[in-house]
Amino acid sequence: MSETMTGAEMVVRALQDQGVEHIFGYPGGAVLPIYDALFHQDKVKHVLVRHEQGAVHAAEGYARSSGKVGVVLVTSGPGATNAVTGLTDALMDSIPIVCLTGQVPTHLIGSDAFQEADTVGITRHCTKHNYLVKRIEDLPRIMHEAFYVAANGRPGPVVIDLPKDIQFASGTYARPASNQHKTYRPQVQGDMEKIKAAIALMASAKRPVFYTGGGVVNAGPQAAALLRELVRLTGFPVTSTLMGLGAYPASDPQFLGMLGMHGTYEANLAMHGCDVMINIGARFDDRITGRLDAFSPHSRKIHVDIDPSSINKNVKVDIGIVGDCAHVLEDMVRLWRSTAPQVDKVALKGWWDNIAGWRGRKCLAYRKSSDVIKPQYAIERLYELTKDREVYVTTEVGQHQMWAAQFFKFEEPNRWMTSGGLGTMGYGLPAAIGAQLAHPNALVVDIAGEASILMNMQEMSTALQYRLPVKVFILNNEYMGMVRQWQELLHGGRYSESYSHSLPDFVKLAEAYGGVGIRCDKPDVLDDAIREMIDTPRPVIFDCVVDKAENCFPMIPSGKAHNEMILGDAAEDIGSVIDAKGKMLV
């Protein structure tokens, strides 16, 4: 049924029809008609952030933890440009976002009007798609189409630029019969012949490994369940990228931990020495591959990805399957069961023996202290004291992010939210706010560094305003830790501008916002302090003072291969030597 209404009312009605419950935004002159329309309804709840970058990150946290599309509303000019970092972050990490931006009236576009910016031009390279609405007749279609584009295929951010005169104009609204874009039809079913070839190659493997990524998480809980089934059916080891953590349970003995620059020794050497690699939903980015010409040099590679442009982009593969991970994994499980391939059990046992030897290095070991809190210990204790709860973890970016990935064990997908591709400092707190809104009864913790948290600290006001009991767990080493580590290892210990000067008193800062501040600098009282944080039904900033000099290991130095890892001095030396094919010679 069609109705006559203004463009602003169409925007709000389309959001309602899409089932949107929360929208993150900041008002300004170019979007006031939409804000007025929001005022006259109660189905879509607006969340007032304190910065437009925070709005997009909050929408990302909401989307990643709930599986829904995150929605953002910002004004023209600086409102739109402030959102660019968040949009780029969402594009890199494949997060479905619809961002509504205000624009000057159509007749002023191109005149350098007050708060005008070429939003479509600026966001062309940091969005999956964008629109400039020039006719009221197009608005209903564009609104619904944007949700389809954002959520289908490889997810990503979509911008709708809304001139102010279009918001005031009257037109006819009717929900389209279909949300689909007229030309965008992502392929979800994999090529069956290629899937059969992949199964045959997997069956012939002597040193196989599953390499899984965020695409499994994005494909929904069914994909994670099917991945677990396939891994257990085959008996193969499995590793994960930073973005894929939780798709396979961390406690399972077949899981090798995270791979990549700060991944585990066993995961990286398995990738280096495997003869068949099964990549499910990962994109072969540089933090995973290391030096490309030395990346897994003796393996045949299978790559499953919904984005056709990812196949053979960074690494040439033997079998490239374009399709949704859930659909392809379903076919793989069915074929493996029906064909019951006979794997080389002797070779597979030998492969697992090698992996056991690599695990014996205990690459995540660190030297504990009774005097100072080690950052690894802080994450371990946080995990142990929260693992029996419904917990969602976000992070900022830096050493603390890598320690969280290494020491916080995720058993389910959608519980881990971090900035992977763009590496955005300031991501964690607003993302935690979004996750907390999506899961009001859950424990949401932002594992932060003292430098990163200051990037978007203003969002504590949002947490307080909406009574969101997010916990900010700061590993405070008084340095931009990852910068300092690289300066130590690569620049002769010249710590140029990496020391965090003039830090606030985080306890007083929390109290200034109306929250609760906790400070802890002794290992023997850490557990009690963490319990106090967990039990506090209000936003908390936890200032955990940790060892200033601790480095994050293992580490693949920039430009090196997987078998050129640096281990920490607490890792065990078992005298192992790795040959060209990954076999361990003791």
- Is residue 54 in some structural domain? yes
Q: 97 and 122: one domain? A: yes
Q: Of 188, 420, 157, whose CA–CA distance to 304 is shortest?
A: 188
Stretch 78-101: mean pLDDT: 98
Which band of pLDDT confidence, cut at 50, 70 and 90, is reported for residue 574? low
- Is residue 509 in some structural domain? yes
From residue 104, alpha-carbon distances to 109, 112, 165, 568 in Å are 6, 10, 8, 56
Report pLDDT digits (tens) over 162-208: 999 999 999 999 998 888 888 899 999 999 999 999 999 999 999 99
Q: 294 and 334: one domain? A: yes
Report pLDDT digits (tens) over 419-462: 999 999 999 999 999 999 999 999 999 999 999 999 999 999 99
Report pLDDT digits (tens) over 29-67: 999 999 999 999 999 999 999 999 999 999 999 999 999
- The reported pLDDT for the residue numbered 566 is 92
Q: How many domains does the chain have?
A: 3
Stretch 260-285: mean pLDDT: 96
What are the residue numbers of the active site?
52, 114-115, 164, 482
- The reported pLDDT for the residue numbered 578 is 46
Domain containing residue 242: 192-359
Q: 420 and 520: one domain? A: yes
Q: Which residue has the tokens 């040193």?
A: 207
Q: 212 and 317: one domain? A: yes
Q: 202 and 124: one domain? A: no
Global pTM value: 0.95
- Is residue 364 in some structural domain? no
- Is residue 141 in some structural domain? yes
Q: 428 and 328: one domain? A: no
Report pLDDT digits (tens) over 318-349: 999 999 999 999 999 999 999 999 999 999 99
CATH code of the domain in which 526 resides: 3.40.50.970
Q: 161 and 202: one domain? A: no
Q: Of 35, 102, 100, whose CA–CA distance to 73 is shortest?
A: 100
- The reported pLDDT for the residue numbered 577 is 42
Stretch 255-278: mean pLDDT: 97
Report pLDDT digits (tens) over 513-533: 999 999 999 999 999 999 999
Q: Of 284, 282, 280, 285, whose CA–CA distance to 326 is shortest?
A: 280
CATH code of the domain in which 286 resides: 3.40.50.1220
Report pLDDT digits (tens) over 454-490: 999 999 999 999 999 999 999 999 999 999 999 999 8
Q: 283 and 335: one domain? A: yes
Q: 160 and 86: one domain? A: yes
Q: 402 and 531: one domain? A: yes
Q: 150 and 44: one domain? A: yes
Alpha helices in 274-416 (DSSP H): 286-289, 325-339, 345-359, 375-386, 399-407
% of the chain beyond a pLDDT of 90: 92
- Is residue 564 in some structural domain? no
